[in-house]
Amino acid sequence: MSERNDVNNKNDSAHPQLIRLILADDDYFIRESLKVLLGLGSDISVTGTASNGQEALALLEAGTPADVVLMDIRMPECDGVEGTRRIKVRFPEIQVLMLTTFDDDEYIIQALQNGASGYLLKNVPPERIIQGIKTVHNGDMLIHPDIARKLAGLLRPAAIPLTQNPIEAYGLTRMELAVAEAISEGLSNKEIAAKLFLSEGTVKNYVTDILGKLSLRDRTQIAIFMLKK
């Protein structure tokens, strides 16, 4: 019996942990195509599919295992924006990645404010979607470059009093500010480490300190905060 357990443990350690994924899209063809596409890899397992945000939440409440929910924004009955809010209220540990053909300004901001970890357009290559799932699963934020630029324009006020400087008003160090700015650009911890010549562990420590000083919940809120300021 012990030899069998040893073999099983070795086999488990030899394979990377599967990312369990729920797909939510009202287009049956897109939903099933993505299911097949993502199922071709060895590290993503599609555990359930839904046609709107409420159905995705129902799957989670019924016990369907998931680490990430890949969800369209525009769906009937319960769209991705509202679906994200409901999922994050009940299951804050689950990452939600928005995937859509629409780059609608209002939807983008609302989805991020509701706790979405990232946003991709459906015209990106399949490998980019797969990488995006892995990115948000690792706790990093992911925003399509075109959308990041648009967010900066939408959220940045026309004039900002000098007293609102994040260093002066919130006690951020210059390195913490640099990390926060990099997060607002959609960079991962690895990319920030390379840009600022830091270790990934140091970047994670900075992110924790920034969240504490700004009284924010996650990286998405840091990005929105920086784009506003």
Buried-exposed string 83-118: b where 16+ CB fall within 10 A, e elsewhere: bbbbbbeeeeebbbbbbbeeeeeebbbbbbebbbbb
115 vs 87, which has greater pLDDT? 87
**CATH 1.10.10.10 region(s) of the chain?**
157-228
Q: What is the pLDDT of residues 91-148, one digit of tens each?
A: 999 999 998 877 677 787 788 888 898 888 888 888 888 988 998 998 888 876 666 6
Count of residues in the chain: 229
- Neighbouring CB atoms inside 10 A of 64's CB total 15
Residue pair 57/86 in contact (Cβ under 8 Å)? The answer is yes
Indicate where the chain has its CATH 3.40.50.2300 domain(s): 16-152
pTM higher than 0.85 for the full model? no
Residue 162 above 90 pLDDT? no
Give the confidence band of 229 by pLDDT, cuts at 50, 70, 90.
low
Query: What pairs with residue 20 in β-bridges?
Result: 45
What average pLDDT does the structure give for the chain?
82
The pLDDT of residue 87 is above 90? yes
Count of other CB atoms within 10 angstroms of residue 169: 13
Tens of pLDDT, residues 5-54: 443 444 444 445 789 999 999 999 989 998 988 878 778 999 999 999 99
CATH code of the region 157-228: 1.10.10.10
CATH 2.30.140.10 correct for 16-152: no
